[in-house]
Chains A and B, each alone.
Chain A
Amino acid sequence: MTKVNIMKNMPEKVIIPLKQHDGSICEPLVKKGDMVCEGQKIGECGSYDSASVHSSVSGEVVSIEEAPHPSGNKVNSVVIQPSEDAECVDFKPKDVPVSELANLIKDAGIVEHYGTPTHMVLKPEGKNIDTVLVNATSSEWIGGHYDTPSQYSSQVLDALKLLMKAAGASRGAIVLRNDDLESISAFDGLNFDGKNITVAPLVGKRKVKYYFKDMASDIVVVSQDHIYGRKILDLFTYNVTGRKVSFGCDPTDVGVAICSVKSAKALYDAVNAGKPYIETVVSVSGKVKDPQKILVRIGTPFKDVIEACGGYIGEAGKLIANGAITGVAQYTDDVPVSKTTTSIFVQSVDEVVRGESVACIHCARCVDVCPVNLVPSRLTALADQGRFDECRQMHIMNCVECGRCAAVCPSKIHVLQLIRYAKSSIEKAYEDFAPKQSSTNLKLGCCGGE
């Protein structure tokens, strides 16, 4: 059972970005010189596509300024200097009616690790969610310390029930990874609500629907192979439920809400402890003295997190937020941990990838590794020439941006970059079209179909 350490030292200052999700930025509720409490709301969400921001420490607001953000941009942030003497009230569990759960999620500032605020996933406007999936394939054991594995698994199941209630969905599933034996053994044989849980593998045509029927249960635990990438949701939905998400739609269009273990845990804490989303588990790895999983307050600069892990080994060459394959390289270690930060990876100077692109030799290695059956070599050539329409005909929008094609390329071509360039160009071209009028499209078969 992987241990999650708690970061003990208080950072010198915390930087809390007012935008830690995809959508509109929050309005600051505090001003320079104000004293704030731990858990106090400091950013109010004005519009629907936004989630509140809370202070993770007690202290004094030093400034409100544009500060670096792990996404690579600068974002208006509240800088707080923690102080010892600030008095704070303990969090109290709230008794929330089911109808208020979605508002609670928005208010507690819970955001998925891929950036969408959780209330938008669970209660999308004009769409019905019938299945809630908790994706536990990448972030196992995240979210705290448990005495026994079964404590973890029953807590996740409780959280899943809350998520289902919030979404009004009748069915829910937890998706584990096939090779993550720890989690599988934690769930296997667990007695939950008088039913024995068995972890079922997703094989061939046996999607989650089959297991709902087979086990005569509304909550199942399934496992699948490890898939990763930045735009994994559509493929994940297809793998688990067999529902195909078409271009321009997202999983909520086919009635599936995908949450992470982190947001499930955050909701559990918000309901049972009354605590907003102010701390998160980050796994620190690479060239640091003491790689570990560590529970940090949101807004802690990377610098302090790395110090808590023993500091850098030698000179650091690259600092990457969210994984070595798909993450964003940071230009400074002053960036704060945000709600969407799941890991920090440090590379030494020698490990930094350098390589000059040469001509494609059509070795087809990229074709062999692609998880969604694309022909990256050809897409790259087309994207390079600006032939985006042909890219689209070759299903470029299916790309999950896992970056395997670029990793295996012997010619060191920037495959992923070119594909993302083509994808963003196509998306921009479609933005000019009027948005869909209503959800009647769902019935007509724009999205959906099983």
Chain B
Amino acid sequence: MTFTISAPPHKKESITFNKLTLAKIIALMPVVLLSVYLFGLPALGIVIAGILAAVVTEVAIQKAFDQKITIADGSAVLIGLMIAMVVPPEVPLWIPMIGSVFAIGIGKHAFGGIGSYVFNPVLAAWVFLSLAWGSIMAPASYPQTTALSDLVLETGAGVMAGVSPLALLLAGCILILLRYVEWRIPVSFFVTTILLAVLLGDSLSYVILGVVLFGVLFLATDTSTSPVTKNGRVIYGIVCGVLVVVYGHFANYVDATFYGLFLANCVSALIDNNTLPGSYGSETYLQRKYKRILSKVPFKDRLEVLLDD
């Protein structure tokens, strides 16, 4: 009888990177279907153009640099799909294609491929497209959530990501419950955004939009561009929220989400390096201060008897 030998652990979870991306693609499907219903067939054309361009670019780059072809992991498809969702549906087909080529070529592979990129390729491509073709990229309308029905189907949406806040929210929450997406960034991001917007007096009907939720649940949680430490992720979410509201307060919350997150990507590594956890059992800042104060208290012998447990 032959036995396999290998190093522990001998049992692993069945989760793989392919499953993570596939789950995100499936989670975005309801929104894509709703936008095809709302915008008609051109939306479908844009989705297909975006995905195709992304996949072809990835294959071309990996062939050219003699790397292993990794289109099967779904990351190129996801990036292509997300780019199609952040451009207005009435743009010519070459816009999402150029966006995908830029995202995969510059945003992803120029930085070292999956796991290494600094900026979310989707955001990088969106910023590039808006700066290069500002007039084409300007959405036909900016949505406002005035009625409950707007949460299900936002007819005033300018981009596909804004079509249905509720569908995005449900899909994102399911991903979080399945632990496919981690929860700290979305929660701290969302809470900060709402709190700040209320403080600054922005009407929430301009804040609770499909695009903002898309940013909270799908763009900000992109694993490569967010910190890994537990505290770092909370801080990153807060930074995202602050930047989005700063932009949103003076312009609109659709562009604010993209620009805000793009800027937050810049500080993610900085946050990571400054929130590395200490050794277990080491004293926190507050505990050290507490001990220092206690050491200066008179009659501390008597106090210690009370506190020493």
Contact of A328 among B4, B8, B15, B73 (CB under 8 A): B8
Of listed B10, B11, B16, B179, residue having the most chain A CB within 10 A:
B10
> If A238-B281, A317-B4, A330-B5 touch, does A361 touch B10 (CB 8 Å cutoff)?
no
Assembly CA distance A347 to B277 (angstroms): 36
Sort A-B residue pairs by CB-CB distance and give the 9 closest, nearest first.
A403-B9, A364-B228, A373-B277, A359-B115, A329-B5, A363-B223, A395-B279, A361-B115, A324-B11
- Whether a CB of chain B sits under 8 angstroms from the CB of A319 is yes
For residue A332, which residues in chain B have a CB less than 8 angstroms away from its CB? Answer: 3
271-309 of chain B: CB within 8 A of chain A: 276-281, 309
Assembly CA distance A412 to B6 (angstroms): 14
Assembly CA distance A294 to B114 (angstroms): 49
Assembly CA distance A106 to B19 (angstroms): 53
* A416 close to B277 (CB less than 8 A): no
Interface of A is mostly: loop
Contact of A353 among B6, B20, B113, B114 (CB under 8 A): B6
- Whether a CB of chain A sits under 8 angstroms from the CB of B252 is no
Chain A residue with Cβ nearest B277:
A373
- 30 pairs, A vs B, C-beta closer than 8 Å: A238-B280, A242-B281, A315-B1, A317-B3, A319-B3, A324-B11, A325-B8, A325-B10, A326-B8, A327-B10, A328-B8, A329-B7, A330-B5, A352-B6, A353-B6, A358-B17, A362-B223, A362-B228, A364-B223, A373-B280, A374-B277, A378-B228, A378-B276, A406-B12, A407-B13, A408-B15, A410-B15, A410-B16, A412-B16, A417-B7
- Whether a CB of chain B sits under 8 angstroms from the CB of A179 is no
* B280 close to A411 (CB less than 8 A): no
Residue count of chain A within 8 Å CB distance of chain B: 62
> If A329-B5, A355-B16 touch, does A364 touch B233 (CB 8 Å cutoff)?
yes
Distance in angstroms from A411 CB to nearest chain B CB is 6
Distance in angstroms from A171 CB to nearest chain B CB is 16
Chain B residue with Cβ nearest A420:
B7
Assembly CA distance A209 to B308 (angstroms): 10
* A375 close to B278 (CB less than 8 A): no
- The 8 A CB mask of A397-413 against B (1 = contact, 0 = none) is 01000011011111110
For residue A345, which residues in chain B have a CB less than 8 angstroms away from its CB? Answer: 10
Question: Residues of B with Cβ closer than 8 Å to A?
Answer: 1, 3-13, 15-17, 19-20, 70, 73, 113-116, 179, 182, 223-224, 226-230, 233, 276-281, 309
Assembly CA distance A317 to B115 (angstroms): 33
Chain A residue with Cβ nearest B75:
A361
- Whether a CB of chain B sits under 8 angstroms from the CB of A166 is no
* A367 close to B10 (CB less than 8 A): no
Distance in angstroms from B287 CB to nearest chain A CB is 11
Contact of A363 among B6, B182, B280 (CB under 8 A): B182
Distance in angstroms from B4 CB to nearest chain A CB is 5
Distance in angstroms from A190 CB to nearest chain B CB is 25
Assembly CA distance A332 to B5 (angstroms): 10
> If A210-B309, A378-B228 touch, does A410 touch B8 (CB 8 Å cutoff)?
no
* B230 close to A367 (CB less than 8 A): yes
* B279 close to A398 (CB less than 8 A): yes
- Whether a CB of chain B sits under 8 angstroms from the CB of A35 is no
Starting from the known contacts A330-B3, A361-B114, 13 additional A-B residue pairs (CB-CB under 8 Å) come to A206-B309, A318-B6, A325-B11, A329-B7, A345-B10, A363-B20, A364-B227, A367-B228, A373-B280, A375-B276, A378-B276, A411-B17, A416-B7
> If A235-B280, A244-B281, A361-B223 touch, does A414 touch B7 (CB 8 Å cutoff)?
yes
* B9 close to A416 (CB less than 8 A): yes
For residue B281, which residues in chain A have a CB less than 8 angstroms away from its CB? Answer: 238, 242, 244
* B277 close to A353 (CB less than 8 A): no
For residue B113, which residues in chain A have a CB less than 8 angstroms away from its CB? Answer: 359
Assembly CA distance A362 to B5 (angstroms): 28
* B3 close to A316 (CB less than 8 A): yes
* B17 close to A324 (CB less than 8 A): no
- Whether a CB of chain B sits under 8 angstroms from the CB of A377 is yes
For residue A206, which residues in chain B have a CB less than 8 angstroms away from its CB? Answer: 309
Assembly CA distance A320 to B11 (angstroms): 11
